[in-house]
């Protein structure tokens, strides 16, 4: 363990040895990193309950805070917080284009990654909890995909839970990947309409950029290819509280004059790369559809198939007419593994994961219906990433769960309004509201 200080906080890094496959505990082991955070004035011997934070994703390590930012300052007033790097992310045993070839063939890589879903993450949590708390249950705060993990936790190991708090992450218990993406497209269209209503000049700007990309091969500074479809995927920004403003700032000065005519500026391309590269979170692309796999057959590139049902999102069709270009949302497509250098070596592995048929169900409706753990969930009205109707249906299926439905925040509410969001959820879970 190593300990260091930041303003107002004491942080201690832990490393935990866990089985790759929890059904074979004597087999291969991997390492999980967790960062313990406690208020500076309570660090010396304070007997505090634990709260474990599960980041969104899949494929993102726990956020690296500097001081008591966002919700963390509120949490350390009464908890000892564990910021957990879920398996394969952050400082845990990595899984990326550089390390996965150590596994062997693409088939062996896909088999390895099949152990990186919510079920394995929760089993990791249970091993870690027993080491840290001496067996006492803890509170879980799950953001987005972290909420998916928390929902699995409620059905798989409720004895380990004191309280569950979920922000923007109540999943459907039964929807297939196709159904999730089919429900998403109308929401994404609404986010586009709201963006263009706020920034009407962006209609022409976006069309001009897409037309340029259709006519020219454009390479990003890191070697990626910026196609019209990749450009459209900047729409993922529209699900965050300030995302529409970020997108506008990207678009407003995209071109510069050159001897060969107008070209996309280096500054624009550098900024675009920072939003589109999967170098820091390849598991997001590799496992995104698998988080919806419920034993109902292969996901089979569901987002790509469902997109064909919504031709208004087709860039070529849009450019042939005069409609605004529609940006897309949280979807992964086969072409991602062609245009992104961080993903290109993993294309065959991704295809094997998309074809996989042995995914097991992630949720236990019977145990959730009999739930006795206090649960509170923030459901963001018209959340671009997680369907509100799906979330509310799940809320009704989990006994005792209390919801806070709000349009004050977008999907990143726990970061944008962290102390207030965490306060509200704790009060709901404790019956104070």
Q: Which of 172, 281, 411, 412 is catalytic?
A: 411
In the annotation, is 144 catalytic? yes
What's the token pair of residue 37?
């955070």
Residues 170, 146: Cα–Cα separation, whole Å: 9
Contact yes or no for 256/309 (Cβ under 8 A)? no
Largest CA distance in the chain: 69
358 is catalytic: yes
| Residue the block writes with tokens 């929902």 | 151
**Cα–Cα distance, 140 to 13 (Å, whole number):** 19
Q: Of the residues 144, 172, 233, 277, which is catalytic?
A: 144
Burial (CB < 10 A; 0-12, 13-18, 19+), residue 316, is exposed
Exactly one of 26, 47, 322, 358 is catalytic; name it: 358
Residues 6+ apart with CB under 8 A from 34: 13, 14, 15, 16, 52, 62, 82, 83, 84, 85, 128
CA–CA gap between residue 152 and residue 359 (Å, rounded): 14
Which residues, in sequence order, are CB contacts of 408 under 8 Å at separation 6+?
417
Checking phi first, is residue 135 left (phi over 0); if not, alpha (psi -120 to 50) or beta?
left
User: Would you please indicate which residues are annotated as catalytic (active-site) residues?
Assistant: 144, 358, 411
């Amino acid at each position: 363990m190593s300990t260091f200080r930041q303003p107002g906080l004491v942080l201690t890094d832990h490393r935990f040895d866990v089985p790759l496959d929890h059904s074979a505990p004597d087999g291969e082991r991997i390492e999980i990193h967790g960062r313990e955070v406690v208020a500076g004035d309570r660090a010396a011997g304070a007997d505090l309950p634990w709260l474990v934070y599960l980041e969104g994703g899949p494929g993102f390590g726990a956020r690296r805070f500097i001081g008591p930012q966002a919700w963390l300052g509120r949490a350390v007033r009464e908890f000892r917080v564990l910021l957990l790097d879920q398996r394969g992310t952050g400082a845990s045993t990595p899984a990326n284009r550089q390390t996965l070839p150590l596994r062997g063939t693409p088939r062996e890589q896909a088999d390895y990654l099949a152990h990186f879903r919510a079920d394995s993450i929760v089993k990791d949590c249970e091993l870690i909890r027993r080491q840290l708390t001496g067996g006492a249950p803890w509170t879980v705060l799950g953001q987005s995909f972290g909420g998916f993990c928390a929902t699995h936790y409620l059905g798989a190991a409720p004895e380990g839970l004191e309280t569950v708090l979920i922000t923007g992450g109540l999943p459907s218990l039964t929807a297939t990947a196709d159904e999730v993406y089919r429900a998403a497209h109308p929401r994404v269209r609404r986010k586009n309409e709201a963006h263009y209503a706020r920034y009407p000049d962006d209609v022409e700007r976006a069309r001009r950029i897409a037309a340029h990309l259709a006519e020219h091969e454009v390479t990003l500074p890191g070697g990626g290819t910026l196609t019209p479809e990749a450009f459209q995927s900047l729409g993922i920004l529209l699900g965050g509280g300030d995302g529409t403003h970020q997108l506008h700032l990207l678009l407003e000065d995209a071109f510069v004059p050159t001897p060969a005519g107008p070209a996309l500026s280096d500054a624009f391309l550098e900024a675009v790369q920072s939003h589109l590269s999967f170098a820091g979170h390849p598991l997001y692309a590799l496992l995104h559809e698998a988080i919806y796999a419920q034993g109902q057959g292969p996901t089979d590139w569901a987002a790509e198939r469902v997109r064909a049902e919504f031709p208004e999102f087709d860039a070529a069709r849009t450019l042939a007419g005069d409609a605004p270009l529609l940006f897309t949302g949280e979807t992964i497509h086969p072409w991602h593994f062609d245009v992104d250098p961080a993903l290109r070596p993993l294309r065959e592995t991704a295809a094997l994961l998309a074809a996989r048929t042995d995914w097991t169900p992630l949720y236990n409706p019977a145990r959730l219906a009999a739930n006795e753990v206090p649960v509170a969930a923030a459901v963001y009205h018209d959340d671009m990433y997680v369907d509100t109707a799906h979330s509310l249906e799940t809320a009704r299926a989990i006994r005792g769960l209390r919801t806070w439905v709000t349009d004050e925040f977008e999907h990143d509410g726990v970061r944008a309004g962290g102390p207030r969001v965490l306060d509200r959820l704790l009060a709901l879970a404790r019956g104070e509201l």
